[in-house]
Amino acid sequence: MTVKLSLATLDQAKATAAIPAYDPKTLSHGIVHFGVGNFHRAHQAIYLDDLFNTGKGHDWAITGAGVMPSDAAMREKLKAQDFLTTVVEQDNNKTGARVTAPMIDIIAPGETAALIEKLADPTTRIVSMTITEGGYFIDAAGHFNPAHPAMVEDGKSPTAPKTVFGLILAGLKVRRERGLAPFTIMSCDNIPGNGHVTENTVVGLAKMSDPDFAMWIHDNVAFPNSMVDRITPATGQREIDILKNDFNIDDNWPVFCEEFKQWVMEDNFPLGRPALEEVGVQFVPDVAPYELMKLRILNGGHATIAYPGELLDIHFVHEAMEHPLIRAFLAKLEKEEIIPIVPPVPDTSLDAYFDLIEHRFLNPKIGDTIPRLAQDGSNRQPKFILPSTRDRLDQGLDIVGLSLVSALWCRYFAGTSDSGRKIVFNDTSAEKLQAAAIKAKDDPDAFLVFDEIFGEVSGNELFRKRFAHALKTLWTEGTAKTLELYLADELVK
């Protein structure tokens, strides 16, 4: 018998899944979270659920905050099941399901007054966000971009905010007017120095309408940096059906993820925080080494396998890793060009970390997809690949493999795989990138004109040479042969 997930059916769900050891009805609000997607529910919400299961921290429940149209659909799906989520954790050798309950409400998009009031509520001590790498209104150098149309609009109309950052400012302003201490703002996105980047955007937007308020934020609001990690694919009918068939639970939008998870964070929470160190979160003086390791080796690894996977018509990540040329490409690039320039990380072997990454990428159960890894490259390339390219060039080192990654991305944006299959893009800059990629078949420099993506790297003579040769080889020889040449150290002109 299939159980339709809700608070009323929790006892029935425990036949096939772990359920909360606490009564969700006893939780009280402490955190507003923007971006209630799969990653949040597989990561931050899981750590809180773990803590609540120990009997501690029950005044740190989550209230979700809707901004985008997709948030409205998520709210309806979760509200129908009392904001419960089934999380299926999958490793190569085992699979387990658990029902989590740390979320008590989601404020719908458009309910601006209610959301600002919740942000101003004294019980709101942390405002967190997972809004993707592209949601911070920054340029290739990580600086706030005040010319972005969304920022221009919120800057002109601070009392009618439309963006996450405009809403946060409105909430902070009310707290300031009421004499309340500001909440801590905690980014949980894959951005180098995510706390600093968040502060720059919040303060930068405030300056556009109220410089004094911006200075108050700079002086009084905490923005801890953090590193987050858990591979979490998108949910589709496949996942919903697996949960029904294997666990007899009907969940409107379950989350499937790997077993591994990691969260490293700076301890900078003036109004307090949950005791997350008791459930595996690492609090450290400096997140930067952990963050750089993850962004360069794991996220850079994802970007490395995504585009040859697409060009060779491979759908799942584990299938790409089973392709001998792609797996060897990843290993050679990581060991020869990426890992050697990653600074040391306390109590961590970078080689062992990469071995773990390979194991995680090979996990067939979570069904992570190459199209997911390939999406949003205009925001991901400047954060995951090009910084390694820039650092190696600055040190006078070659970038044969890294320039090949950029060339593969360009070839992907020409719009067809090696077999002629049409590629479906998911990138806000797709139209201009595709136009440039098509031109680049004859003029490689045409793809390097985007300063917001390539920055100073595009002006480097060695990079342009390596990129042009790799791209030409991809067009004339195909992806597989190009990888073979790289692996044989023959992709050098």
With helix as H, strand as E and coil as C, how does 362-412 read? CCCCCCCEHHHHHCCHHHHHHHHCHHHHHHHHHCCCCCHHHHHHHHHHHHH
Q: What φ, ψ does residue 105 adopt, rounded to 5°? A: -170, 160
Residues of the chain with confidence (pLDDT) below 50: none
* Annotated domain spans of the chain: 3-285, 288-488
Cβ atoms of 252 and 77 within 8 Å: the answer is yes
Residue 157: what pLDDT?
A: 96
Tokens read off for 313: 């018509």
3-state SS assignment for residue 206: helix
Tokens read off for 320: 């790409």
The angle at the Cα of 253, spanning 251 to 258, to the nearest 5 degrees, equals 100
Q: What is the CATH number of domain 3-285?
A: 3.40.50.720
* C-alpha to C-alpha distance for 343 and 278, rounded to whole angstroms: 28
Residue type, 81: Q
Q: Which of 147, 145, 189, 174 is nearest to 33 (CA)?
A: 189
On whether the 288-488 domain is CATH 3.40.50.11810, my answer is no
3-state SS assignment for residue 264: strand
Q: Which of 204, 199, 140 is nearest to 379 (CA)?
A: 140
Residue 139: what pLDDT?
A: 79
Residue 374: what pLDDT?
A: 97
Q: Which residue has the tokens 């090949």?
A: 404
Q: Which of 169, 154, 72 is nearest to 111 (CA)?
A: 72
pTM of the model: 0.87
Residue 148: what pLDDT?
A: 95
* C-alpha to C-alpha distance for 225 and 211, rounded to whole angstroms: 24
pLDDT tens column, 415-471:
999 999 999 999 999 999 999 999 999 999 999 999 989 999 999 999 999 999 999
- CA 400, distance to chain mean position in Å, is 27
For 345-359, give the secondary structure using H, E and C.
Answer: CCCCCHHHHHHHHHH
The full DSSP string for 164-200 is HHHHHHHHHHHHHHTTPPPPEEEE-SS-TTHHHHHHH
Q: 290-312: buried (b, 16+ CB within 10 Å) or exposed (e) per residue?
A: bbbbbbbbbbbbbbbbbbbbbbb
Q: How much is the CA Rg of the chain, to the nearest whole Å? A: 23
Handedness of CA 153, 157, 163, 169 (dihedral sign): positive
The angle at the Cα of 126, spanning 121 to 130, to the nearest 5 degrees, equals 120
* C-alpha to C-alpha distance for 354 and 348, rounded to whole angstroms: 11
* C-alpha to C-alpha distance for 49 and 43, rounded to whole angstroms: 10
* C-alpha to C-alpha distance for 100 and 53, rounded to whole angstroms: 10
